[in-house]
Amino acid sequence: MTVAPNQDIQVTAFMGDVFGRDHMNVYVGTPGNPTSTKLNPNLGTFDTTSQTYRFSSYSGVFNPGANTTIVITIETTFGGANSFWTINGIDVRPIGLVAPLTLTKVGGNATVAADGLTIDYYTGVGAVPNSEVTINPPLGTVVDADGNPGNGLQPDADPDVKGFQVFADASGNFGFGMRRPTGLGPITISAEDVTGAAGTGVVGPIGGGPLAASTNPYVLPNPYSQAYTLPSVRRIDFGPAGGVTASDNDPTNPLYLGFDGSSYASTPVNGLGWVGAAFGTFDRGLPSSAVQRDGVFGAATTPGDFEIDMPAANTPYSVTVQIGDPAFQPGRAVRPGHQPRDRGVIGTPVTGLSVPGGQSASLTFTATSDASGRLRIRFGATTVNGQRVSGRPRPSRCGRPRRPSPSTARPSSARARPPSPGRCRPTARRARCTRSPGPRRGRS
């Protein structure tokens, strides 16, 4: 294939089949060294075996140097589930001929809280009319394919293709909704025509080699960057991924963030998660409430450290944790720590707590963030259902302040009962943190 020398070019490969394919590589090279530089950064880039999609489109930027001819080589390697490679199309063009897309946030480009719950909407212009565009944010989740918040969440416009696709209209306009991440970011949102004809954001990365462009990955002109802040309140409902997630009548934070046994990565990536070990999840189903029915558990010999990034450093936060299991009776200890890098434990508000099967206990204590704003809560012999962390005191369900109490918590029935006059409704399994003067207890 003839190209202009010393110019950056974009190569897009569209690969797949109705049959699963894996272990495929695409190389861009010269006649003297045809496999010098790999397009795909890893062996799984074009895999479709055991996936919900059947095709994959991937782009990268190369520079041929003084060469005027490039060679594109496709192979399948040993060790995969099949011995065939398939390619459906390829697009090679100077980077200057990639039509620019422009993204705009509905309501204005503002810094927003990384709560993992809110869906923000974006519009795009400049696409090829009626084309298919892949939306690829490094953080957050694309959940709506038409950018209209008033008609419900529309699914991926082409689930046969890897990633999340939307369709442009006859004027080249498109839109999408994206659920915010839990990490601080910031992020550059990438959008690219599946053929490579238009795009914005980040292209690549590609595998190393002499023909890789000097910038790898390559940032197209006019990128859209979204900035985030850490929320001041975290309400977390532990349980299996994609499971039932609780909500209530809290006037400012009614929704819980569903969270499983996933690991903490970093403040920019996810801002919260388990540290040091992987933990299992459970869901006992009805009749327990949305928070009580599910949770995360660990063995007595493996404490569970849950780390949360909060916006303020060296600040006391009130932490409310609800623990229990509708089916089993574990013993527990809860310890707050604010030295996340050495896993230091600085207090033990609750030890020897035993909650009978079918019941739950809610406890509140104070933990102070470290110099980076991190909190770490350690659970021993654990099943934990939920957690809340915030920088303000939380009233009881009846609207009255909770009374200070010793570092213990009483079990209560896991099944919610109608409240009697002057009595709080039993809470569900959860955890919540707010700034508070000291240990408290509450009936769940």
The string of pLDDT tens digits covering residues 143-168 is: 999 989 999 999 999 999 999 999 99
Rounded CA-CA distance 179/246 in Å is 17
pLDDT at 375 over 70: yes
Rounded CA-CA distance 378/400 in Å is 29
Largest CA distance in the chain: 85
For residue 106, which phi and psi values (nearest 5 degrees)? -65, 130
As a residue count, the chain comes to: 444
Structural domain harbouring 28: 9-97
| CATH number, position 372 | 2.60.120
56 and 134 share one domain? no
The whole-number average pLDDT for the span 397-403 is: 35
Q: How many C-beta neighbours within 10 Å does residue 287 have? A: 11
Beta strands, E only, 98-150: 99-100, 102-105, 112-113, 119-125, 132-136, 141-144
- The reported pLDDT for the residue numbered 83 is 85
pLDDT at 135 over 70: yes
Q: Quick one: CA dihedral 382, 386, 390, 396, positive or negative?
A: negative
Tokens encoding 440: 């408290």
Domain boundary among 63, 97, 131: 97
- The reported pLDDT for the residue numbered 42 is 95
- The reported pLDDT for the residue numbered 131 is 98
Better-predicted residue by pLDDT, 328 or 162: 162
Query: Per mean pLDDT, which of 77-81, 186-190, 414-418 is the most reliable?
Result: 186-190
74 and 104 share one domain? no
The whole-number average pLDDT for the span 341-363 is: 67
- pLDDT classification of 419: cutoffs 50, 70, 90: very low
Rounded CA-CA distance 59/12 in Å is 4
- Report which of 202, 173, 205 is spatially closest to residue 190, judged by C-alpha positions: 202
User: In the chain, pLDDT over 90 holds for what percent of residues?
Assistant: 65
271 and 410 share one domain? yes
Answer whether residue 1 is part of any domain.
Answer: no
| Lowest-pLDDT range of 14-28, 145-159, 430-444 | 430-444
Domain count, the chain: 3
pLDDT at 427 over 70: no
| Lowest-pLDDT range of 29-33, 78-82, 118-122, 145-149 | 78-82
Answer whether residue 205 is part of any domain.
Answer: no
DSSP class of 138: S
Domain boundary among 209, 227, 245: 227
| Lowest-pLDDT range of 52-61, 183-192, 367-376, 387-396 | 387-396
